[in-house]
Structure 1
Amino acid sequence: MTDTTILAYLNSALCDWQFGKICATSGTGTRRWIKQYIEQIRIPFPKPETERRIQQLAMDIGKVTSEEKVNLSAEIDKQIFALSDLTKEEREFVNNCVPIH
């Protein structure tokens, strides 16, 4: 798995929601990205064609306007949700719990 794919997952709505469940906060609402919590993140391994799609979307995010970034981020989330076999209801729940990226 490439660094780009890992970074795309770490910036996804699913990872944001998952990490919020396993990490401690600083007391001001800031999540503590420390080793004991990061080790608990489970990144699904995509098939090669899915990984290429996620990589392309992640690379494109740096080249577009803010409005287009929202759309690309949503497409990355869609790919990540598919990797995780989430139901439609589970995807909606995660999206409702996490602010738009």
Structure 2
Amino acid sequence: MWGEISDRSKFAYESIGTFVPEATTFLMAGKHLPYLLCILNSPMSEWFFSKVGTTTGVGTVRWKKFTIQELIIPIVSPVDEQFFEEQVQNYIDHSIDTQSFTSSVNKRIYSIVGLSDEEISFAENYYPTML
């Protein structure tokens, strides 16, 4: 699920079927949700979305469904898919902290798409660090 208006990508994984009754909150369903959570929250996707997305006029991004559909999402192997599922579950279970989770999934994403060190640095430094 995600909110339409946000300063950054803020996708969340909700596995128990709770409905969020709010006009600008959206739900996504499908088989690959843990992987999508990881890639949609990645710095690489944030950068790409900044190129295809729209803003509110004051700099806040509008994470509209039709523009999210424009994102390029690589198809991953079953081994990679399992990795993302395990990482999300470990994060939900509090087996890993936020920094470890973010670091491990982003490294895997960068490896999958073949980003150079320079491209990784650019994507990770495109937005200021969130506190």
Classify the TM-score, shorter chain.
Answer: 0.7 to 0.9
**Which has the higher relative contact order, 1 or 2, with Cα contacts under 8 A spaced 6 or more apart?**
1
- Rate the CA distance shift 1:26–1:58 in 2: closer, same or farther, 3 A: same
- Alignment pair present for 1:82 and 2:114: no
- Alignment pair present for 1:37 and 2:59: no
In structure 1, what is the Cα distance between the partners aligned to 2:128 and 2:83? 23
Q: Flag as ranges the 4+ runs of structure 1 deviating above 3 A.
A: 98-101
In structure 1, what is the Cα distance between the partners aligned to 2:37 and 2:129? 17
Gaps of 5+ in 2: 1-30
In structure 1, what is the Cα distance between the partners aligned to 2:78 and 2:92? 22
Assess if the C-alpha contact under 8 Å between 1:70 and 1:100 holds in 2: no
Deviation track 1:42-88 (CA, whole Å, cap 9, x = no partner) reads 111111111111121122222338x9211211111111111111111
Q: What count of residue pairs does the alignment treat as equivalent?
A: 100
**TM superposition score normalised by structure 1:** 0.84
- Rate the CA distance shift 1:96–1:84 in 2: closer, same or farther, 3 A: same
- Alignment pair present for 1:71 and 2:124: no
**Which has a greater percent of strand?**
2
Letter in 2 for 1:15: S
- Alignment pair present for 1:18 and 2:36: no
1:2 aligned residue: 32
- Alignment pair present for 1:49 and 2:79: yes
| Larger CA Rg, structure 1 vs 2 | 2
C-alpha RMSD of matched pairs (Å): 2.1
Letter in 2 for 1:46: V
